[in-house]
Amino acid sequence: MMCGGCSSARPASPEVQAIADKVKSQLEEKADKKYTLFKAVEYKSQLVAGTNYFIKVQVDNDNFVHIRVFESLPHENKPLALHDYQADKTKEDELAYF
C-alpha cells in the first residue's frame, strides 16, 4: 500500500472486527446511542504516521455507520482512537475518505 493513499475496499476480517469493537464505546458516547448489533462488513486502510481504518459497520438490519479509527505506531503505545464517524449509511454507500 502506498503511503497516504487509501487501499481498495476489502471484506472485514476478524482483526478489523476487533478494531471496531475496541472503539464501539467511543462511538456510542459521541453518537449518544447504544448499538446491540455492531458488525464490521468492509474496510479500507490508509498508511500515515500510523494507520487510519475506514470501517463500514452494520448497526441494524438496513442501517450502517462508517467509522474512521486511528492506530498509532507501535512505539507510541497509544490506544485506538475513533477520529470520526458518519451515521445513517446504507449497505450500498461507498466507503470513502472522510
Provide the β-strand partners of residue 63. Answer: 60
C-alpha cell at 35: 448499538
From first to last of the 98 residues of the chain, give the pLDDT tens digit.
Answer: 444 677 888 999 999 999 999 999 999 999 999 999 999 999 999 888 889 999 999 999 999 999 999 999 888 889 899 999 999 999 999 998 88
Q: Evaluate whether 50 touches 73 at the Cβ level (below 8 Å).
A: yes
pLDDT of residue 38: 96
* Distance, CA of 11 to CA of 49 (rounded, Å): 24
Rounded Cα distance, 15 and 19, in Å: 6
- In sequence order, what are the beta bridge partners of 81? 70
Q: Which pLDDT value is given to residue 35?
A: 93
**Residue 82 forms beta bridges with which residues?**
69
DSSP 8-state assignment for residue 50: E
